[in-house]
Amino acid sequence: MVFFGYMVFSILFGLLADRYGRWKILLISFLWGAYFSLLTSFAPSYIWFVFLRTMVGCGVSGHSQGLIIKTEFLPTKYRGYMLPLSQVFWLAGSLLIIGLASVIIPTIGWRWLIRVASIPGIILIMAFKFIPESARFNVSTGNTPAALATLERIAKMNRAVMPEGKLVEPVLEKRGRFADLLDAKYLRTTLQIWVIWLGISFAYYGVILASAELLERDLVCGSKSDSEVVVTQGNSEEGQSPCHCHLFAPSDYQTMIISTVGEIALNPLNILGINFLGRRLSLSITMGCTALFFLLLNICTSSAGLIGFLFVLRALVAANFNTIYIYTAEVYPTTMRALGMGTSGSLCRIGAMVAPFISQVLMSASILGALCLFSSVCVICAISAFTLPIETKGRALQQIK
């Protein structure tokens, strides 16, 4: 349901960002996400919990506008280096929440985990006074004075002199239209991007959920252990859970931290691949490797071997996300960049919604079947990436289609 909220509002926020500005939508999404995240900790029932987490998903869907603002400010030659470095901060957030969970859940419970986890989002709202609206967006809407003010502020901050001349761009009235995404020039690109986003999300959340599932079920060599798993919840009576859930041991949190650190392991290679091989070839290679390592999870191995495979898989799926985020932000013109990112993010959540049923439900019936399905989807994505019609490496951002 979190992903459902993301799916619905990702398109809406993308549409609004192309028409009214990236900064406004980014601020609204942060306020929305922080507010409903905090409310979740006071949920009186499971239904309320699910509803409030859905609303959090709606808010989080607008956070991608931050990447678009950054993309529209960065020079062409630096985009392939600077945008992947965002992954470092994603990793920091992932490690922080696992570390907090290991301390807070066993002691004072999940409600306090959500309250503490809401604090960074609330604090970050104060940082918005330092974030400018995209100068490219302002120019495309005819608000040249605002774009000039932003550029002058940047020049002053860097102790540089503004170039002589005037900003001249045609004002574009037709912006943020779905028809433009499916125009003959971008139709094939859009459809293939959607397939890739859906598949990458399916694989990414599949790896995360499969990691937790393998740990919870104590799976060794692809078979479930004979030991029964008992659920202990607070002071309630013990009972057997149909999903075999139990509280994580400290070693389980350590395993999750190790596999999560894997998300940054391939970042240097990913940056080199993006800049020297290009976005398409780099993505097709990492997707192909992801397919291979999903199959390797079924090999009979030790606990250290399993952690190693999960580590590499997390690195690969993170590299996939890095590349497709950059490609999507670069391939569309300013008039529909946010909508292109929004629709892609929306399709992406379909993969995220399906992933739990494969990595938790199907995996309980057939480990090999679930892994083969994940691998097959990655192969399809690798082919789609290799055959994308436009390469954005070294290509200037387009203002109009």
- Global confidence as pTM: 0.76
Question: CB of 131 within 8 A of CB of 23?
Answer: yes
Find the helix or strand (DSSP H, E) in which 239 lies: strand 239-240
> Which structural domains are found in the chain, ordered by start?
1-148+178-219+249-387 (1.20.1250.20)
Q: What is the pLDDT of residue 399?
A: 64
Q: What is the pLDDT of residue 165?
A: 81
Q: What residues contact 280, with CB distance under 8 A and at least 6 apart?
A: 327, 385, 386, 388, 391
Pairing of strands 239-240, 230-231: antiparallel
User: What residue ranges of the chain have pLDDT lower than 70?
Assistant: 169-176, 212-246, 300-302, 399-401
Opening angle at CA 78, ends 72 and 80, nearest 5 = 90
Distance CA 154, CA 114 (A): 37
Distance CA 121, CA 39 (A): 13
Q: What is the pLDDT of residue 222?
A: 46
Q: What is the pLDDT of residue 226?
A: 42
Q: What is the pLDDT of residue 174?
A: 66
